[in-house]
């Protein structure tokens, strides 16, 4: 099977961090025989400058065809005054919407060398590797009716939590598939004690499990208790699957277990394509960081780890993904640090390119 990849560096530090990933992709081709058919294109402000829109139709069409899209970041002060319809983030929103990316994957991974960055104790987070799967296209952020209405002489604000069986079914499947490529354990979180949508959620997740994924260990937890457990002993989890609202909250909590924004990758997955691979968009959690753009200060690790996720979840190269993650871990253990990572004693400050060099050297030695 060929491996097709669309790279969209975007704006600000996007192209800077993506340049390091491109070198790593080349390394896997030259040294591991893992060839990628790569197309590079524009998104965000960079696309607006050339096409007058933040995502050209041809780019959208390409994104629908490839095995994986890897995006840097979009946006920046230069584009802040633009009309909402052509703002850089609209390019990203269009990708997510038209590819129907319903499962948002937010790993919380804590490399030993960075455990002291966490807001929790070292022993609670060191070596942590969990994955939160958040339903992204439905739930209370989209449900109707919604609005602010007049009722009995005062205003009432209304949102509706709404999930169909098929919406729950497909995100549950995505979570079980991921678990099989990881620790084979899923914990589903909702509030079945007080919400009808929670009762349905629990029932459908259990049914999908029993019918198709009985080999994966499944547990259920109320989402509020889940929040407590994430802070108390996060290593008890492997994959957590939850709805849009709870996932929004829990993934932000989980992010803080691990420290720097410059280290956090993400992915958004959609339905399986004809070749069995899911539609997929990989991107760092951080934005275009205009305050440090063009200065060689950006930490490329979040984008590099996003590519590692692509290796594992789109290209079935779990061992090579681990190789890349181990290389990043080794570099951090050696004290190599971009400016965003606190300068501890004995730390070796490097630029964006310096971090890329160090990761490539660690890969060479792997």
Q: Active-site residue numbers?
A: 141, 191, 224, 248, 252
27/141 with CB nearer Mg ion: 141
Q: Taking CB under 5 A as the criterion, which residues in 251-290 touch Mg ion?
A: 252
Q: Which stretch binds ligand NAI (CB under 6 A): 48-56, 69-77, 138-146, 249-257?
A: 69-77
Contact 364, 26 (CB under 8 A): no
Is 302 a residue that touches ligand NAI (CB under 6 A)?
Answer: yes
Q: Please choose, from the candidates 290, 277, 305, 292, the residue with its C-alpha nearest in 3D space to the C-alpha of residue 338.
A: 292
Query: Is 350 one of the binding residues for ligand NAI (CB under 6 A)?
Result: no
**For residues 258 and 314, which CB has a smaller minimum distance to Mg ion in the complex?**
258
Sheet hosting strand 278-284, strand order edge to edge:
37-40, 4-10, 68-73, 278-284, 265-272, 103-109, 129-135, 239-242, 185-190, 217-222
Q: Which is nearer to Mg ion, 4 or 251 (CB)?
A: 251
The CA-to-CA distance between both ends of the chain, in Å, stands at 26
The residue among 216 and 289 lying less far from ligand NAI, judged by its C-beta, is 289
Among 15, 54, 75, 139, contact with ligand NAI (rule: CB under 6 A): 75
H-helix or E-strand containing 309? helix 301-313
CA–CA separation, 365 and 27 (whole Å): 12
Stretch that binds Mg ion, among 106-114, 156-164, 240-248, 355-363 (CB under 5 A): 240-248
Pick out residues in 44-63 that bind Mg ion (CB under 5 A): none
Closest alpha carbon to 106 in 84, 137, 75, 130? 130
Q: Is 340 in the site for Mg ion (CB under 5 A)?
A: no
- Largest separation between any pair of C-alpha atoms in the chain: 72
Q: Which does 304 bind (CB under 5 to 8 A by kind): ligand NAI, Mg ion, none?
A: none
Our finding on whether 288 is near ligand NAI (CB under 6 A) is yes
Q: Cβ-closest residue to Mg ion?
A: 248
What residues line the site for ligand NAI (CB under 6 A)? 13, 17, 73-76, 89, 92, 261-262, 283, 286-292, 298-299, 302, 340
């Amino acid at each position: 099977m060929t491996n097709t990849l669309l790279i969209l560096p975007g704006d600000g530090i996007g192209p800077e961090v993506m340049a390091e990933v491109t070198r790593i992709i080349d390394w896997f081709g030259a040294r591991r025989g893992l060839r990628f058919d790569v197309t590079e294109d524009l998104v965000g402000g960079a696309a607006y400058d050339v096409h007058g829109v933040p995502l050209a139709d041809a780019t959208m069409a390409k994104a629908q065809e490839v095995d994986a899209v890897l995006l840097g970041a979009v946006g920046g002060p230069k584009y802040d005054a633009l009309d909402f319809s052509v703002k850089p983030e609209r390019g990203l929103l269009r990708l997510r919407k038209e590819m129907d990316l319903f499962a948002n994957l937010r790993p919380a991974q804590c490399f030993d060398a960075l455990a002291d960055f966490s807001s929790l104790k070292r022993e609670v987070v060191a070596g942590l590797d969990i994955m939160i799967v958040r339903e992204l296209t439905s739930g209370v952020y989209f449900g109707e009716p919604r609005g602010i209405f007049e009722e009995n002489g005062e205003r009432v604000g209304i949102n509706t939590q709404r999930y169909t069986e098929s919406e729950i079914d497909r995100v549950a499947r995505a979570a079980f598939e991921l678990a099989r490529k990881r620790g084979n354990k899923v914990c589903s979180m909702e509030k079945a004690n007080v919400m009808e949508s929670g009762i349905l959620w629990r029932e459908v997740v259990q049914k999908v499990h029993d019918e198709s994924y009985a080999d994966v260990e499944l547990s259920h937890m109320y989402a509020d208790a889940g929040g407590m457990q994430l802070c108390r002993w996060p290593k008890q989890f492997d994959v957590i699957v939850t709805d849009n609202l709870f996932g929004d909250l829990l993934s932000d909590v989980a992010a803080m277990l691990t420290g720097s924004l410059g280290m956090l990758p993400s992915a958004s997955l959609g339905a399986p394509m004809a070749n069995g691979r899911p539609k997929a968009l990989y991107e760092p959690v951080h934005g275009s960081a205009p305050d440090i753009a063009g200065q060689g200060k950006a930490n490329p690790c979040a984008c590099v780890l996003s590519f590692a996720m692509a290796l594992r979840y789109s290209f079935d190269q779990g061992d090579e993904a681990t190789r890349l993650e181990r290389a990043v871990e080794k570099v951090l253990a050696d004290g190599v640090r971009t400016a965003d990572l606190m300068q501890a004693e004995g730390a070796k400050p490097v630029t964006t390119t310096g971090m890329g060099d160090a990761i490539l050297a660690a890969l060479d030695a792997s």
